[in-house]
Amino acid sequence: MSATVLVDAGGANLGSVRYALERLGAEVRVSRNPEEIATAERVILPGVGAAASGMARLRERDLIGVLRGLTQPLLGICLGMQLLYDGSEEGDVECLGLIPGTVRKLAASPATVGSPTIRVPHMGWNTLRFSQDDPLLEGIADGAHVYFVHSYAAPVDERTLATCEHGSTFSAVVRSGNRYGAQFHPERSSTLGMRLLANFLTITA
């Protein structure tokens, strides 16, 4: 059994996530093998890009069924988090259906008196606001700054652990049972991002 498997779905952040985990001393394997993913102690689904192409890659590699069947801890990062939801407005695509809800496009807006321009994609450092305590966020303070790159975002609901605001408020960290998601890039978020990854490595089924 591999302790932690990174799903090789072609995401551009695959290498940087692996490097971050190895710096934490984790035993990590990158795999597109359904059996290896199914038997891992925990699974991470990274991703960058569009929902439709992300789901197409999972389908081509015969990974949709195995990801839907996982009972061990699963962490989606950036696009990987969005793919955990029922669907995405981006291409009106059906996603994995592991977390209820639809991912929707962030709204851009011009500058007005007293308000800055809201640009999409949302790119750069922004603030986490905690909605509820969870072991995934242990050691990370409310108000922490982390690094985002995205144009679509998940709704705020009872599964939201932390929010962020960019024009509107969206879910930045979520949990539904053993399924977790981080919209920001922990591998690019300095010590706070490393802490989130370290926390995930301690979570067991």
pLDDT value of position 10: 77
> Which among 95, 150, 164, 187 is annotated as catalytic?
187
pTM: 0.95
Return the domain boundaries, the chain: 4-202
pLDDT value of position 109: 79
Does the annotation mark 90 as catalytic?
no
Segment 182-204 shows an average pLDDT of 97
pLDDT value of position 100: 98
Percent of the chain past pLDDT 90, that is, above it, reads 87
- pLDDT tens for 135-166 read 999 999 999 999 999 999 999 999 999 999 99
- pLDDT tens for 12-70 read 789 999 999 999 999 999 999 999 999 999 999 998 889 999 999 999 999 999 999 99
Q: Superfamily for 4-202?
A: Class I glutamine amidotransferase (GATase) domain (3.40.50.880)
- pLDDT tens for 68-127 read 999 999 999 999 999 999 999 999 999 999 999 999 999 887 755 556 789 999 999 999
Does the annotation mark 78 as catalytic?
yes
pLDDT value of position 1: 47
> Which among 78, 150, 164, 166 is annotated as catalytic?
78
**Bigger pLDDT: 18 vs 1:** 18
Cβ burial of 141 (10 Å; 0-12, 13-18, 19+) is exposed
> Which among 122, 150, 166, 185 is annotated as catalytic?
185
The secondary structure element, H or E, covering residue 6 is strand 4-7
| Exposure class string for 33-62: b at 16+ Cβ within 10 A, else e | bbebbbebbbbbbbbbbbbebbbebbeebe
The secondary structure element, H or E, covering residue 57 is helix 51-60
pLDDT value of position 115: 66
Residue 190 in this model has a pLDDT that exceeds 60: yes
Does the annotation mark 187 as catalytic?
yes
